[in-house]
Amino acid sequence: MTFKTINYYLLTIVLIVTTSFFPKNTQLNNQNTIKTRNLQDSIQPVILTRDIQIKSYFQYLDSIITNFNSKHAYIISEHVLVRHNPWIIDSLANTDYYRMMAKDSFVYNQKELIILKKGSRINIPDSLETKQLLDTFKNTWLDVNIPEYKFRIYKDSTMLYEFPIRVGRNEKKYLKMGNRVTDLKTIPGEGKIVAFIKNPDYYNPVTGNQYFVTKRDDNKTTKLPQIPFIETEINGIRYGQLIHPTTNPITLNKAYSNGCIGTNEADAWIIYYYAPIDTKIRIRYDLNIINEEGEKVVLKDIYGE
């Protein structure tokens, strides 16, 4: 057998091996791709079969999440689910009493409002979308500048939202709920979000009495809304310094509260869904700022002696 003959047979063997194996591998890869796609496609959206009121909203979401997590290899949370369906946040924000009044719609009891309508579609994020949202949460942080009365939400260095707020008063007062004289100033520092109160009760911290209705800025009386309160831990301590809505936005841009950070109702919903547990927060007291026109501004020292 000549050298050329040997080369011919070797080339033939290589071609046979190549033809036999590579198409099979390609077919296997295609099958894996199809299987992955079918797995993602099998995650069906939830179509509401009934109207959901705000008073049942959190329980309904919990039922969706619990059912999904019991059947799949990855889990989702309320914040993941709602951020994947941003229309829900918009709907919640639009239940703000003053937004409703601007549409000539007086709402006495916000809890009775329908927030998820029959026939609405709630999409379920796949595993990749869930991971992307979780990564976004890790890179999101909150910034509060007390004398500026501003609350900002950032993703990395990009500001996503800016809201007006009210902060604690520059005084000390006896609060029956704490049974002591309390400094009412909002405490600066760095920390994180540690808890939520999804169906808060309302108490007057001075008297300790619970209340169920509120007088609005237009002098109309309504029941208190169900909007989550957000608990912070600052400098490693839980001071009871909450982020929560006020039913009187006329008090925003003022030192008015008993130490908590107050927002309007619509903004409170947005903050809640952009601030899952462990979201970092910085509360600062910076008097020297740069305004929107790029000018240096010195703010009033609201906690100055």
**Is 84 among the catalytic positions?**
no
Q: Containing H/E element for 248?
A: none
So what's the pLDDT on residue 20? 40
Statement: residue 105 has pLDDT above 80 = yes
pLDDT tens string 248-300:
999 999 999 999 999 999 999 999 999 999 999 999 999 999 998 999 999 99
User: Span 34-48, mean pLDDT?
Assistant: 64
**Tokens 């590579």 sit at which residue?**
22
pLDDT tens string 145-196:
999 999 999 999 999 999 999 999 999 999 988 889 999 999 999 999 999 9
C-beta separation of 202 from 62 below 8 A: no
Q: How confident is the model at residue 24 (pLDDT cuts 50, 70, 90)?
A: very low
Statement: residue 1 has pLDDT above 70 = no
**Is 244 among the catalytic positions?**
yes
C-beta separation of 227 from 108 below 8 A: no
Residue type, 23: P
Q: How confident is the model at residue 11 (pLDDT cuts 50, 70, 90)?
A: very low
Alpha carbons 65 and 135: distance in angstroms, whole number: 19
Residue 186 Cα distances to 151, 197, 300, angstroms: 13, 20, 16
Query: Can you give the pTM of this predicted structure?
Result: 0.86
Alpha carbons 246 and 131: distance in angstroms, whole number: 34
Alpha carbons 86 and 225: distance in angstroms, whole number: 21
CB neighbours of residue 47 within 10 Å: 10
Share of the chain above pLDDT 70, in %: 86
CB neighbours of residue 244 within 10 Å: 21
Spell out the residues 6+ positions from residue 260 whose beta carbon is closer than 8 angstroms to its own.
Answer: 168, 186, 241, 242, 243, 244
Residue 88 Cα distances to 95, 119, 121, 277, 299, angstroms: 11, 14, 10, 20, 37
The pairing of strands 167-168 and 210-211 is unpaired
What would be the CATH architecture of the domain defined by 146-298?
Beta Barrel (2.40)
Mean pLDDT value across the chain: 89
Q: How confident is the model at residue 93 (pLDDT cuts 50, 70, 90)?
A: very high
Domain extents for the chain? Answer: 46-129, 146-298
So what's the pLDDT on residue 292? 87
Share of the chain above pLDDT 90, in %: 83
